[in-house]
Structure 1
Amino acid sequence: MKLYRYILFLLFITLKATAQQTIVYNDMVYRPEIKSVQLSILGKDGSFPVINLRSNDQLLLSFDDLTNRSRYYNYTLEHCDAEWHSSNLSPTEYLQSFTEDRLMDYRYSVATRQKYVHYELQLPNQNIIPKIAGNYLLKVYEDGDQNKIVLTRRLYVLGSKVGLFADITPSQNTALRQTNQKVNFQVEYGGLNVQNPYNDIRTFIMQNARTQTGIMNSRPSFIRGTQLIYNDVATNDFPGGNEFRHFDIRTLQVNSERVNRIYRDSINTVILLPDHPRDRPDYTFEYDNDGKYFVNSTDGRDARTDADYAHVYFSFASTKTGREGDIYIVGQFNNWRMDASSKLEYDNGTARFYINLLLKQGVYDYAYVWVDATTHKPDYTLLEGSHFETENDYQLLVYYRPVSARWDELVGYRLLNNSTKR
């Protein structure tokens, strides 16, 4: 009997450890009923979630729970290194006040076909305050149990200690000059105690806040005094891509741009106009939001609670077939993830790819990614095209870890844009 209980205890411990290892240190939603998750600077919708250490800056997290019943949600922060692994610090080393807190701000939807509960959280607050600079993973979980994870979001706390100088140019590779954008930059680290700049400082560059295609720079091209120069011909060279596709469903009363038909019954259904490949050699300007989405409604007064949800149908007419590969739809609205929920289905009868997504009213940017059936590698430009003229945001981050230190600090951040229209 004792042996049987001991085996059950070991099994329980193993299952618990396995459950804890399932957390992904990225922007993730772990439950299908959780929708419209957004994290940005308070008062600046769609902004990159970076705040200054020991400042009055705050971030706003918002999301909807489609179960339409309030639940006990808690949250905490975990400090991470430059590559988004846990820093393995005690929460008391990187948090002031408490180490976790209850999410108290919620309200029910009003006059919507899809019922939901809307939650909001402002960080830092009087209960949760980051104590050191760096990467942080925000974790929301149910009933105070971190094994019941609901969602995670990456955020950045900046302790500015370096100077940053950067520019964006066409690729220095002649073959890529018409399609790529190259980021050259310098880091002035005179204010830091750096013993080995090749080891103590790393930089990370993202295009439109997409971590999946970001580039980590572990070594500069060369060092000049207390300046690190990053301008090697072959590094930090990004495909410019194309301006994002977009659609507007701020109203469900009449058809708007890119909307073909709207049905309003027990649920809302929106049929978008068909999409086509855009791999043309010439660039055509279109205003976009660099892959972001914004919840908004002109049908009500407060989009947080009276914006409705709709089943949005996308179709893509391609010369490719389902046997040749798969097409995925990506954007900030689904955290740029390519999985079963973002994969289009191919219909032999119409020779088109289709997908249906449940989305809240607003304005959405999106793009299509091709994954070849043979190589299984994502191609971000085959269906969309790529041009050096395309307007893009770039987020440049600088991390510093002194000798014998146990964590990486975020000591520099700069937002770059290759266009003069912003």
Structure 2
Amino acid sequence: MQVINRKFFIPILLFPLFCLSQISEVNPPNYIKTVNFKGNTPETQLPILKLGEYVILEFDALNGNEADYYYKITHYNYDWTPSVLMKSEYMDGFDNQRIRTYENSFNSYQIYSHYQLTIPNQQTRGLKVSGNYMLSIFNSNDELVFSRKFMIYEDATAVGVNIKRSRDVKFIEEKQRVEIIITSNNIQLNNPTQNVKAVIVQNNNLKTAIKNLKPQYTLGNQLIYKYDTETSFWGGNEYLFFENKDVRAANTGIRAIDLQELYHNYLFTNVERASKPYTYNPDINGNYVITALDAENPSIEADYVWIHFSLIPKETFKNKDIHVYGNFNNYVIDESTKLQYDETYNVFTNTMLLKQGFYNYKYVVVNKDGSLDEGAISGNFYQTENNYKVIVYYRDLGARYDKIIGIGEGSSVNISN
């Protein structure tokens, strides 16, 4: 009887499990700041590009080493498990190339190197198929520094998006419901209840997206999604904001200024809004824009400033984990975003090093079980202006990867019953 060598047997069992695991973004270390990932829009956000369009990644390295960084591009299925495609099947050219475009900061207290990568470029001439992608940045030792997700779509279907109030009377004042109609004029969608999957993203935040939605029913060449609870989001509240394009003078949302080793900006102390009536306050849905007064190139002339956040506590906040939240750090929740209670002044505080610009932010609560409660401090209101994107995935019979066949977008500014 043959004896199986356990030393070789265990990896064979574990390999398929490893390959099928979902991939998450890797957050950058402390010396990497202002990761700006965008397509052909001025605001940094989740890049969703039409096949053939370009994408730009920018970031700052504050360690002053002028280090070399390399990039790799990987294709994924709709659920962010690795696809079976070879690089040559989804990429024209090569990756694992050095980022050649970088400049050092100019006339700033904080020294940094600003890196910029544009795809397509001479080495990576283009991406050939639609779907989910991950852009990963490595250092010269081939160690992963950080990664970011992006999507490429084909304009093969029309995606209609309507924002409605909740049908549930219990949540009619707090939730927003997304209705979707997918019209397939150019392609035949085979077995759509199994092969078509929709994802709804609120304010470009993949971490709170509703995934794996299947059509409720079909009507001719249309797929209809008119769910209630399955496609409902908490309305939230408009984001708070500040602007510090001039670090030496008063700006919107900034109470006081101080110069030490770097400039310090102290924001006006915020209060809980959940128990107060909704007030319209225009925002950019959690995004941020880098800008500096009298700077020809804010990418290298904008300085880094210590931003001091503060929140007046309520008794219900005392035993909760409260964090500062926004696209400025890709909606990451960790120790750097956590507010600390200051007994001397009876206030929650947090300090972050951010580049000059216009920023949206809000305060959120992380529950003991790790779940996120965005409305605990800001409140949830159906009137809140939110942006919604619907991403439609399709895998045809016998296909080897998930295409993105359409993108739809809607705003709750015109919400209806």
TM-score with structure 1 setting the length: 0.89
Q: 1:144, CA displacement in angstroms?
A: 6.7
Judge conservation of contact 2:161–2:390 (CA < 8 Å) in 1: no
Q: 1:43, CA displacement in angstroms?
A: 5.3
Stretch moving more, 231-240 or 282-291 = 231-240
Distance 1:204 1:399 in 2: 8
Task: Select 1:243's aligned residue among 238, 242, 263.
Answer: 238
Q: What is the aligned-residue identity percentage?
A: 28
Check if 1:130 corresponds to 2:127: yes
Judge conservation of contact 2:45–2:327 (CA < 8 Å) in 1: no
Q: 1:257, CA displacement in angstroms?
A: 1.6
- AA of the residue aligned to 1:384: S
Map of 2:361 onto structure 1: 366
- AA of the residue aligned to 2:35: V
Judge conservation of contact 1:27–1:335 (CA < 8 Å) in 2: no
Distance 1:321 1:292 in 2: 29
> 1:175 is paired with a residue of what secondary structure?
helix
Distance 1:244 1:209 in 2: 14
Distance 1:327 1:51 in 2: 34
> 1:86 is paired with a residue of what secondary structure?
coil
Task: Select 2:104's aligned residue among 84, 87, 108.
Answer: 108
> 2:242 is paired with a residue of what secondary structure?
strand
Q: Which digits, 9 at most, give the CA deviation of each residue in 1:368-416, with x for residues without a partner? A: 111234x543211010011111111101100001123221111111221
- AA of the residue aligned to 1:166: V
Stretch moving more, 359-368 or 183-192 = 183-192
Map of 2:265 onto structure 1: 270
Map of 1:379 onto structure 2: 373
**Residue ranges of structure 2 left out of the alignment (5+ in a row):** 1-7
Distance 2:22 2:214 in 1: 27
> 1:383 is paired with a residue of what secondary structure?
helix
Q: How is 1:7-156 mapped onto 2 (pairs within 5 angstroms)? A: 25-42=23-40, 44-46=42-44, 48-53=46-51, 55=52, 57-128=53-124, 129-143=126-140, 145=142, 148-156=143-151
| Number of equivalent positions | 400
- AA of the residue aligned to 1:37: V
Distance 1:159 1:125 in 2: 21
> 2:224 is paired with a residue of what secondary structure?
strand
**Residue ranges of structure 1 left out of the alignment (5+ in a row):** 1-9
Q: Which digits, 9 at most, give the CA deviation of each residue in 1:40-87, with x for residues without a partner? A: 12453335412221x3x2111110000112111111210011122221
Distance 2:73 2:141 in 1: 14
Q: 1:321, CA displacement in angstroms?
A: 6.2
Aligned CA distance change for structure 1 residues 218 and 42 (closer, same or farther; 3 Å): closer
Distance 2:261 2:276 in 1: 45
Distance 1:352 1:286 in 2: 24
Map of 1:184 onto structure 2: 179
Distance 2:131 2:370 in 1: 34
> 2:193 is paired with a residue of what secondary structure?
helix
- AA of the residue aligned to 2:79: E
Check if 1:405 corresponds to 2:399: yes
Distance 1:24 1:185 in 2: 26
- AA of the residue aligned to 2:111: K
Map of 1:346 onto structure 2: 341
Aligned CA distance change for structure 1 residues 417 and 50 (closer, same or farther; 3 Å): same
Distance 1:191 1:43 in 2: 27
Q: 1:264, CA displacement in angstroms?
A: 1.4
Q: 1:213, CA displacement in angstroms?
A: 1.1
Distance 1:194 1:50 in 2: 22
TM-score with structure 2 setting the length: 0.90
Judge conservation of contact 1:107–1:117 (CA < 8 Å) in 2: yes
Q: 1:352, CA displacement in angstroms?
A: 1.9
- AA of the residue aligned to 1:382: A
Distance 1:376 1:109 in 2: 39
Judge conservation of contact 1:25–1:152 (CA < 8 Å) in 2: no
Stretch moving more, 303-312 or 160-169 = 160-169
Q: 1:266, CA displacement in angstroms?
A: 2.1
RMSD: 2.3
Map of 2:412 onto structure 1: 418
Distance 2:147 2:338 in 1: 22
Task: Select 2:217's aligned residue among 208, 219, 222.
Answer: 222
- AA of the residue aligned to 1:101: Q
Q: 1:281, CA displacement in angstroms?
A: 4.8
> 1:336 is paired with a residue of what secondary structure?
coil
Map of 2:298 onto structure 1: 303
Task: Select 1:258's aligned residue among 247, 253, 259.
Answer: 253
Distance 1:156 1:256 in 2: 36
